[in-house]
Structure 1
């Protein structure tokens, strides 16, 4: 029972179903808020349907949490997402089954109970965070945003410092300008945008995104041309240099996070391989009836239903004999445990059929044989070259000996 529940929890279909429930719940939260804006009566059939749907969602979350405790036991609370689920389910039970009943039954319109009730309703939106982890690409984007949180905080701090410095400069150059008392147009612009330091910083905040700033700096520059240095400095430092610098830092952080993700994926893939190899070793042990350390065609045909289902899911082949023939590249009629486990694992991580993997193994085997033949041929050629040199040396020695013999014979005569 526990194993079956664990298989259900780890299946992609279950994740898709829970993700759909969370998405529907988030949509219902928005519809509920819209109904409150419209002041719909609790007796309205749409409001009642929404209330029933909310109770159904809560029941689904309770069942899911119970399945996790059943499959993983008490140690599942070490997972932060399970703790998050416990908090949401507890707040949901408190809000849906106790607070709403008590508030509406007592008719208390006090601020305290109503605010607690609203906070409980707002916590329903927190369930949408769980939706993010159900989709890998979406979660990668959110995680990239979270890893950039520190950068954004320091960016805000640096932006505040820069705006404060330019605000003080603006106060001296614009707000305290003698022309405020001489030109009504200049004084009007100062009154609207540069009346004090907080208003100046708020005005300069528009320069971050260049939000309709032309109507601010252009009249001032026409009246006081030297202010062009001030406003050009703001535009260069804030929206151009600072924002591009922040973008570069965030992109660099994203690259580092991607590298970390690749390392994490490699570790996850290795853990997955080890789990599958353990399961395949169990299957091999079950198939090896005679304990010879090898599996024959007759033994694999006697495979159990559970083991057969696992092999079918991994290899997409329903006939165990076809799997055996695909792995038995050398046609030996037997498979050892290494060939069996490694062959099926490579098929599991590959997107090509097992027949293609068999052809790949055969091609590699042919390449290995050809390489050995070439090495033997090179060795033979080397050895034959040595023999030829020896023969030439012997012939030379014989010729020299013959010439010496003839010379000696001629002297004696």
Structure 2
């Protein structure tokens, strides 16, 4: 009775928001006599892949592989040989990756073609096979730059942990935000470079002769590169990026120039204001707006959040119902519900949020019964 009534209240809350539908991963499968053995195996493997134990196991394997990768890189930088147990552990991790990839391909068949995560897993497995083939031919794997890059690329699988572990859902939101806004970030950087180039062209035309003159007068005795700061457009771009975006000693070149030629403050201060307070803040605003639009279009994640909130509501309501169950029978009477609505602050506040009065509560009780 407690669980039935607990499941009824979130449904009413959902109806007040305009929908009585709940998302399901897929239709329930009925195992009849006509079902093939292959389909039965697929359903079993799919169930195993979606279990919490599998997520934890694969996540621990990924973390172990990343730790071993960092340890191997440290040994290689120190000129030491990799212990055999590290190699054996890496082979085991690679075997798990291969098994997971084959299981995903077997369960979803051609439906995974085009999926970004499946492509990443396939690339990592193929890179591992390439490494084994090179080692089988007798070549020194550690000396090949390509193999080193492929080993480092394995670290990208760390992002998969944030998707599998619910404790890291905030990290997964950051990953999804970056993935959704990567195109917007690229064009934002291009726009920033264009604005910086415009100021660089002005600086080369107007500031370069003055910089050379001040350098010859000994304005920067400890900075031989300062005289070349605005020698070309790309040098000026690098100077503006270093001093404005990175914030590295803006006054080193600007202050002597402004002191000797006050009108140059228009260029130095103008470039600072337009890039920092204009372009960079505009990039932040555009990226946030793009992420908000992507979130509105991400129906799947919104449905998942509704399901998660529904489960949380069920657990909270069950705890409340156990508190207001005065006789400890495991069933609630209408009088106990009414009394709980008057005496239990948490239950009273939840009913108020759901806009449920005493008549609605009685109606829900009869329906749950």
**TM-score bucket (shorter structure):** 0.5 to 0.7
Larger Rg: 1
CA RMSD of aligned residues (A): 3.9
How much has 1:238 moved relative to structure 2? 0.8
User: Is 1:27 equivalent to 2:67 in the alignment?
Assistant: yes
User: Is 1:257 equivalent to 2:294 in the alignment?
Assistant: yes
What residue in structure 2 maps to residue 88 of structure 1?
124
Tell me which of 39, 60, 63 is aligned to 2:96.
60
How much has 1:145 moved relative to structure 2? 1.4
What residue in structure 2 maps to residue 133 of structure 1?
163
Alpha-carbon distance change, 194 to 77 in structure 1, aligned in 2, over 3 angstroms: closer
Give the conservation status (yes or no) of the 8 Å contact 1:179–1:186: no
Show structure 2 runs of 5+ residues with no match. Answer: 1-39, 309-317, 320-328, 335-346, 364-369
User: Is 1:154 equivalent to 2:194 in the alignment?
Assistant: no
* Cα distance in 2 for residues equivalent to 1:270 and 1:159: 39
What residue in structure 2 maps to residue 77 of structure 1?
112
Tell me which of 124, 147, 155 is aligned to 1:117.
147
* Cα distance in 1 for residues equivalent to 2:291 and 2:360: 43
How many corresponding residue pairs? 284
What residue in structure 1 maps to residue 267 of structure 2?
230
* Cα distance in 2 for residues equivalent to 1:183 and 1:128: 53
Give the conservation status (yes or no) of the 8 Å contact 2:66–2:155: yes
* Cα distance in 2 for residues equivalent to 1:365 and 1:158: 57
How much has 1:214 moved relative to structure 2? 1.3
**Residue 248 of structure 2: SS of its match in structure 1?**
coil
Map of 1:356-371 to 2, 5 A cutoff?
A: 367-368=359-360
Show structure 1 runs of 5+ residues with no match. Answer: 273-314, 317-324, 331-355, 372-413
* Cα distance in 2 for residues equivalent to 1:182 and 1:130: 53
Tell me which of 98, 109, 114 is aligned to 2:133.
98
Give the conservation status (yes or no) of the 8 Å contact 2:135–2:141: no
Give the conservation status (yes or no) of the 8 Å contact 2:244–2:272: yes
Map of 1:249-398 to 2, 5 A cutoff?
A: 249-261=286-298, 263-268=299-304, 367-368=359-360
What residue in structure 2 maps to residue 191 of structure 1?
227
Higher relative contact order (CA 8 A, sep 6+): 2
Give the conservation status (yes or no) of the 8 Å contact 1:92–1:124: no
How much has 1:147 moved relative to structure 2? 2.1
* Cα distance in 2 for residues equivalent to 1:368 and 1:199: 73
Alpha-carbon distance change, 176 to 260 in structure 1, aligned in 2, over 3 angstroms: same
Deviations 1:55-75 (A, max 9, x none): 1101222232343345x2524
* Cα distance in 2 for residues equivalent to 1:122 and 1:209: 27
* Cα distance in 1 for residues equivalent to 2:227 and 2:170: 49
Instruction: Report the TM-score when normalising by structure 1.
Output: 0.58
**Residue 282 of structure 2: SS of its match in structure 1?**
helix
Greater displacement, 80-89 / 28-37: 80-89
* Cα distance in 2 for residues equivalent to 1:6 and 1:179: 70
**Residue 218 of structure 2: SS of its match in structure 1?**
helix
Greater displacement, 195-204 / 32-41: 195-204
**Residue 39 of structure 1: SS of its match in structure 2?**
coil
* Cα distance in 2 for residues equivalent to 1:65 and 1:189: 53
* Cα distance in 2 for residues equivalent to 1:182 and 1:69: 65
What residue in structure 2 maps to residue 334 of structure 1?
none
Greater displacement, 6-15 / 229-238: 6-15
Deviations 1:336-388 (A, max 9, x none): xxxxxxxxxxxxxxxxxxxx8xx98xx969515989xxxxxxxxxxxxxxxxx
How much has 1:218 moved relative to structure 2? 0.6
Tell me which of 79, 86, 91 is aligned to 1:50.
86
